[in-house]
Structure 1
Amino acid sequence: MRCGQMLSLLPTGDISPSLFYSRSRDTQSCCNDFSSFVDANICARIWLYPTNSRQRTTPEDTMNSIMTEYWPTFEMYQSLRTQLMEILTDEELRFSPGGANPTLGALCKEIGEIEHAYIESFKHFTMDFSYRNPEAALEQSVARLTAWFAELDQELKATIAGLSEEEVQNKVVVRGPNFQLPLQIQLAVYQEALLIFYGKATVYLKALNKEPSQQWREWIG
């Protein structure tokens, strides 16, 4: 195959012939006249391996579709919990509106235990809500809750990021008899659990006369 034939194979608007280079072990000569290429092997080699258009693999190329398409939105919902912790004090964690309602700290601890259950569900593809954090003083410390939430969030992200695209497309989480969810929907259900928690926490904030963040006011109320 001669160069005229090779040129016809190049995509329209691809690499200009004037940019092609003829390379050998000892010399490098710029070939301004593409028609001077008569060696089909040289033409094929340069066409297949242009020096200025080599493909590079980026981290995004290896991410699964949950991480590329859904995770950025999910993180915005997740960040509301961090915003909540930023305005609370240890004393306020002990507040309860009365009746059978738990303290605000116990409510915060519960959502952490729920997140732990969801993390495990993405590892083992079954749902189990039996986990309870054994640290007794956890629900009385803003600092400890904040640190624990950060650890959980990092673990959740690492677990989701570690899933292959094949797993994302084909695996399901067994939540009970005749109840299975695809992985992205499973994460969406956890997002709903966060929203339920935020709704409950809003009642406590109003009773405490605490003003939440602007995002919280716009998204939750």
Structure 2
Amino acid sequence: MVFAMPGFVARLTRPFMTASFLGVVPENGIAAAATIPDGAQEAIVAAGCFWGVEHIYRKHFGDKGLYDARVGYVGGHTKNPTYRAVCSTETGHAEATQLIFDPSRITYAQLIDFFYRIHDPTTKDRQGGDRGSQYRSGIYYRNSEQKKIAEEITAKANAQWYDNSVTTEIVEAGQWWDAEAYHQLYLDKNPSGYQCPTHYVRDLPPLQ
């Protein structure tokens, strides 16, 4: 499949638009932290530009037990990272999506299976035209059960779908940092905004 690359102007303006561009000016520019309902669980994944990842999870699981999907930063070595700093690749963070879900309606395994259907996990530090370690493919687990599930599904996806070329890292989540407020629900607020061309649901057979 041939993908259209984002326009030159869109690529230039994408990283550093201000919150006021969307009419949202939160305190210090930082989004409020998510509230996790009783009994809910958290999953964190990175699959390139976080706008598209958040949007596609909401679209497919919004009525199936997904309470919230937020964009932010994980896997780095500095505190309070900003988007500009993360884009420099010097903080070590990945653009990531935090999924808060009802485990009685949707499982962690289903969310990870879907993760491998919606991006290209074989291109190290790159999705489409977006290049840099912040665009790496990653699963960031919170406990040993999540780690086990992530490793099992990754092994199957690697063997059955991606010809043993998966580059996805599976590491303990560590500190989650919410991205600035103007990034949250970005594609809902800007339907014609930039979206990475690798973010679509692939028609792949069930994993065995």
Could you tell me the TM-score, scaled by structure 1's length?
0.23
Larger Rg: 1
| Structure number with higher strand proportion | 2
| Structure number with higher helix proportion | 1
Which one has more relative contact order, counting CA pairs under 8 Å at least 6 apart?
Answer: 2
Could you tell me the TM-score, scaled by structure 2's length?
0.24
